[in-house]
A = this chain, B = another copy of it.
Amino acid sequence: MTDPRLTRLAQGLPASVPFVGPERLERMRGAPFVARLGANESGFGPSPRVAEAIRAAADEAWMYPDPDMHALRNAIAAHNEVAPENVMIGEGIDGLLGNLVRLLVAPGDSVVTSVGAYPTFNYHVTGFGGVLHTVPYTGNFEDPERLVAKARETGAKLIYLANPDNPMGSHHSAHMMRNLVTNVPAGCLLIVDEAYIELAPQGTALAVAPDDARVIRMRTFSKGYGLAGLRVGYALGARDLIAAFDRVRNHFGVGRVAQAAALAALGDQDWLAQINARVADSRDRLAAIALENGLVPLASATNFVAIDCGADGTFARAVLDVLATRGIFVRMPGVAPLDRCIRVTCGPDNQIDAFAKALPDALAAARRHA
């Protein structure tokens, strides 16, 4: 039953959540997964310096975190060659998206995204009463021209685009992204979710003036840096917009251990380079495994590969379900036509081996039931 004291807006919200965690699936199946390849985490782990930093920070866990996040904010600013005032750190990109939507989207305001793009962004938009308008992907790509056209048509406050894209793994060039920025309608803000940017080809990152008010870029320590468990993301944007987060954010939201770990991760760019090499190898292995099984791996600029299973969403879902029964956790896009794919995260060889071993049977079983 819904509590009758909820606001009208809250009464109308679905009780559903953006993602079911693999831990719940493990509880349902009564056993842990053999391979955890569904959440685009970094199975290669963070830099050894991070573990050191976490262990050192354990002794400071009794102290509230610095709400200014001064050391980490300055380090992120220096790393990205912007001023600290262009940086806001939050509880993952998820937390930052929530606050950004809250700041810009009043009930009834329009927001534009692609069909099948990031569910948690949609969750926040709906959660604050925004009206989602969607455009389809063009092939395996989010389509900047369609997004802009829809934003003009609907007078949107926000456009969301991930580059590289999740769940398809595709990416646009920095040049194409620059064109997109140029075309953002007045009064609208473009969110470029660069969660996977550290794993993308050099030059993919959007290059704009730090105080360009047309765009806000989102980054995370959850993917390349391997710190999904600590919840640290950041936004890069114009200082007036960045300053506005202070009006609504949970100031102590990013913990002390998390800040220390992220600082250590940022400081070990050599580790990130090694991760990039390992992710590239793993992508190649996943592509080969797909091809060996008669499936089509999509080109990826991320730490996952979307594998086109060659039929519809029902078939891909069946493959996914059989994989789960074999202890392989992978996810898939939620809507057609993207849901012809399953999305497999890169990882250590033993994890990929387990996937390779289970896939032929999963395909056979899915075909029997098709």
| Contacts from A to B (Cβ < 8 Å) | 1-10, 13-15, 17-21, 23-24, 27, 36, 39, 41-46, 50-51, 54-55, 57-68, 70, 91-92, 94-95, 98, 102-106, 109, 120, 127, 157, 187-189, 213, 222, 226-231, 238, 240-241, 243-244, 246-248, 250-258, 261
Contact = CB atoms under 8 A, between A and B. Distances in A.
29 contacts: A2-B244, A3-B213, A5-B104, A5-B187, A6-B103, A7-B106, A14-B247, A18-B251, A19-B67, A19-B251, A21-B68, A23-B68, A24-B67, A24-B70, A36-B63, A41-B64, A50-B58, A60-B229, A61-B228, A61-B229, A62-B226, A62-B228, A63-B228, A65-B229, A91-B91, A91-B250, A94-B252, A127-B247, A229-B255
The secondary structure that dominates the A interface is loop
Contacts of A59: 45, 51
Contacts of A255: 229-231, 255, 258
A106 B189 CA distance: 25
B252 A1 contact: no
A17 B55 contact: no
Given A21-B64, A21-B66, 4 more contacts: A8-B106, A10-B244, A39-B64, A257-B257
A230 to B, nearest CB: 5
A23 B63 CA distance: 11
B240 A2 contact: yes
A105 B41 contact: no
Nearest to A105: B7
B46 A61 contact: yes
